[in-house]
């Protein structure tokens, strides 16, 4: 039977393809590489022609999740022993059916091409990757201890999964679908027909926390997730994800005079996902047109929104701006850390460092709520944060760009006064040219970074003795 290629390509796009700017390629010797599109780097976005190449077996492709949400989950059963892989896969399928209440007809299994299996579930809407990972962990607890091998979670933004129906380039085996009762492989023609018949299941099978988002609404979700819970030691996204989901369920802008920021963020998301420019402009306009007019400044019109959307999309695409870089290494300079060390108590230093990182990631002018600042420095005391912010302003580390401003549209909607988050600007001097610096990630805390840039004698000059003894002397990196 000849491949129904056009229908298969369409079905792959519906079920599996979530971002086109990042994908896996397996070459004939079996090795995988990850390719990421960027203007000028000669990498092509993932496209329908590649899916056709995959189906022919000339090259084999894999896909990634689109960021913080996904429309499918793969349980990747991987063992050196094929009989053990069969046993684990069958047990996993049984747990999904009997304990997770997934109808067996909606549990889709394909051969990995090399002693393993992919067990897939497809959903009718986007689900937070975090929620899918919790579901995966719950299922694995029920599966129990494995004699050997492992069952891995796929896909994420950093870990891709090979598409079915291609050829494993090392073994030469075609990755066909299998009968989920017996794991006996279907023929090629049966596998093609099987894929075309797959229908996604409802989100509620996996999580009660449904997110009914259109593709364009995911962008504001990504923006809020990345910008409302920056921690000194690490980024914990769980609370921010719930906040973002609640805001996006409204389906429109949620803060007055935020059109420019939302437009820019949507443009970045569209570029991250590999959308064409016209698609990004259309997505932006859908969100703006669904927003009450009082959320816009006086005299603002849809024609103006569209011209600005086009201008910002062009800027974002021409300069390859994306929103997937929240974990990228940042450069911290010695003078910046010394300014941080001069900021009062250790809690105040922590907040200063968090604000420094925030300014580098989101711009020298940034907004901050008291609740977010409390999370940044690990305190439940609003007074501690208010005192820290007051101190940072007094010592010249930051200055207010917006303070105590009422959000008139939101206040009108809820019937009581609501204030916009305060905005701040870093007020310290810019680093000198060729100044000593280090690259840091979210995993590096203030103490680690300071010890990378300064010797112990310098640190002692900027912190009080009891703080040094309690906070710095016992740190693993201390070598004095």
The more confident residue out of 274 and 18 is 18
Task: Enumerate residues 6+ apart whose C-beta is below 8 A from 433.
Answer: none
Please check whether residue 373 lies inside any domain of the structure. yes
Please check whether residue 285 lies inside any domain of the structure. yes
Total domains in the fold of the chain = 3
Listed range (208-212, 240-244, 392-396, 471-475) with the worst mean pLDDT: 240-244
**Same structural domain, 419 and 307:** no
Please check whether residue 479 lies inside any domain of the structure. no
**Same structural domain, 187 and 222:** no
**Same structural domain, 341 and 294:** no
**Does residue 240 register a pLDDT over 50?**
no
Please check whether residue 341 lies inside any domain of the structure. yes
DSSP string, 370-407: HHHHHHHHT---HHHHHHHHHHHHHTTSEEEEE-S-B-
- Measured between alpha carbons, how far is 326 from 113 in angstroms, rounded to an integer? 35
Percent of the chain with pLDDT over 90: 29
- Residue 61 CA, distance from chain mean position: 22
**Same structural domain, 71 and 139:** yes
**Same structural domain, 314 and 337:** no
Query: Which residue range forms the structural domain that includes residue 374?
Result: 330-472
**Same structural domain, 189 and 95:** yes
Band of residue 163 on the pLDDT scale cut at 50, 70, 90: very high
- Once rounded to an integer, what is the mean pLDDT over residues 29-44? 80
pTM strictly above 0.75 = no
- Once rounded to an integer, what is the mean pLDDT over residues 232-247? 32
**Same structural domain, 11 and 84:** yes
Instruction: With residue 111 as reference, give the H or E element that holds it.
Output: strand 108-111
**Same structural domain, 301 and 356:** no
- Once rounded to an integer, what is the mean pLDDT over residues 61-65? 91
pLDDT at position 257: 62
Give residue-wise pLDDT tens across range 423-438: 888 999 989 888 999 9
Task: Enumerate residues 6+ apart whose C-beta is below 8 A from 106.
Answer: 121, 122, 199, 201, 205
Percent of the chain with pLDDT over 70: 78
**Same structural domain, 11 and 152:** yes
- Measured between alpha carbons, how far is 76 from 89 in angstroms, rounded to an integer? 9
Listed range (182-186, 214-218, 232-236, 402-406) with the worst mean pLDDT: 232-236
The residue from 298, 318, 338 where one domain ends is 318
pLDDT at position 274: 63
Please check whether residue 324 lies inside any domain of the structure. no
The residue from 205, 225, 251 where one domain ends is 205
**Phi first, then psi: what are they for 422, rounded to 5°?**
-65, 145
**Same structural domain, 192 and 229:** no
Please check whether residue 155 lies inside any domain of the structure. yes
**Does residue 342 register a pLDDT over 70?**
yes
- Once rounded to an integer, what is the mean pLDDT over residues 300-308? 85
**Does residue 115 register a pLDDT over 80?**
yes
Please check whether residue 104 lies inside any domain of the structure. yes
Band of residue 219 on the pLDDT scale cut at 50, 70, 90: very low
pLDDT at position 442: 72
**Phi first, then psi: what are they for 26, rounded to 5°?**
-105, 125
Task: Enumerate residues 6+ apart whose C-beta is below 8 A from 236.
Answer: 229, 375
Listed range (88-97, 119-128, 391-400, 407-416) with the worst mean pLDDT: 407-416
- Measured between alpha carbons, how far is 433 from 282 in angstroms, rounded to an integer? 43
**Same structural domain, 377 and 436:** yes
Collapsed DSSP state (helix, strand, coil) of residue 456: helix
Please check whether residue 366 lies inside any domain of the structure. yes
Listed range (68-72, 225-229, 293-297) with the worst mean pLDDT: 225-229
**Phi first, then psi: what are they for 278, rounded to 5°?**
-65, -35
Supply the CATH number for residue 123's domain. Answer: 3.90.920.10
The residue from 318, 350, 366 where one domain ends is 318
Task: Enumerate residues 6+ apart whose C-beta is below 8 A from 176.
Answer: 110, 111, 164, 165, 185, 186, 187, 188, 191
**Same structural domain, 310 and 335:** no
Ranges 332-341, 416-425, 442-451, most confident = 332-341
In the block, residue with structure tokens 């911290």: 332
């Amino acid at each position: 039977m000849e491949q129904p290629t056009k229908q298969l390509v369409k079905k792959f796009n519906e079920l599996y393809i979530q971002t086109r700017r990042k994908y896996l390629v397996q070459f004939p010797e079996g090795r995988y590489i990850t390719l990421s599109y960027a203007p000028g780097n000669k990498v092509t976005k993932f496209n329908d022609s590649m899916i056709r190449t995959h189906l022919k077996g000339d090259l084999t492709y894999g896909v990634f999740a689109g960021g913080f949400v996904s429309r499918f989950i793969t349980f990747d059963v991987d063992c050196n022993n094929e009989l053990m892989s069969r046993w684990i896969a069958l047990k996993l399928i049984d747990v999904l059916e009997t304990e997770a209440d997934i109808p067996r007809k909606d549990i889709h299994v394909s051969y990995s091409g090399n002693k393993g299996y992919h067990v897939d579930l497809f959903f009718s809407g986007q689900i937070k990757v975090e929620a899918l990972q919790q579901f995966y962990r719950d299922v694995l607890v029920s599966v129990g201890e494995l004699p050997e091998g492992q069952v891995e979670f796929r896909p994420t933004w950093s870990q891709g999964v090979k598409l079915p129906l291609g050829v494993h380039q090392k073994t030469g085996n075609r990755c066909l679908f299998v009968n989920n009762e017996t794991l006996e492989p279907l023929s090629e023609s049966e596998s093609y027909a099987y894929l075309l018949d797959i229908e996604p299941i409802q989100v509620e099978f996996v999580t009660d926390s449904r997110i009914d988002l259109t593709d364009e609404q995911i962008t504001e979700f990504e923006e809020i997730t990345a910008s409302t819970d920056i921690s000194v030691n690490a980024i914990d996204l769980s609370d921010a994800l719930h906040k973002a989901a609640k805001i996006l369920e409204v389906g429109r802008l949620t803060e007055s005079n935020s059109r420019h920021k939302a437009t820019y963020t949507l443009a970045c998301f569209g570029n991250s996902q590999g959308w064409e420019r016209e698609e990004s402009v259309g997505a932006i306009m859908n969100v703006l047109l669904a927003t009450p007019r009082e959320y816009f400044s006086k005299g603002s019109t849809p024609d103006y929104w569209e011209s600005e959307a086009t201008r910002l999309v062009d800027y974002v695409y021409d300069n390859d701006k994306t929103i997937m870089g929240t974990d990228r290494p940042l450069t911290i300079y010695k003078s910046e850390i010394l300014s941080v060390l001069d900021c009062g108590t250790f809690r105040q230093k922590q907040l200063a460092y968090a604000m420094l990182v925030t300014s580098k990631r989101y711009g020298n002018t940034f907004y901050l709520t008291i609740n977010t600042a409390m999370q940044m420095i690990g305190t439940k005391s609003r007074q501690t944060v208010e005192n820290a912010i007051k101190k940072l302003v007094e010592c010249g580390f930051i200055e207010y760009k917006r303070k105590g401003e009422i959000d008139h549209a939101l206040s009108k909607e809820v019937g009581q006064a609501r204030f916009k988050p305060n905005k701040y600007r870093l007020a310290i001097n810019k680093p000198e040219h060729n100044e000593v610096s280090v690259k840091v990630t979210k995993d590096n805390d203030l103490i680690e970074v300071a010890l990378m840039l300064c010797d112990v004698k310098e640190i002692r000059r900027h912190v009080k003795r009891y703080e040094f003894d309690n906070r710095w002397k016992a740190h693993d990196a201390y070598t004095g």
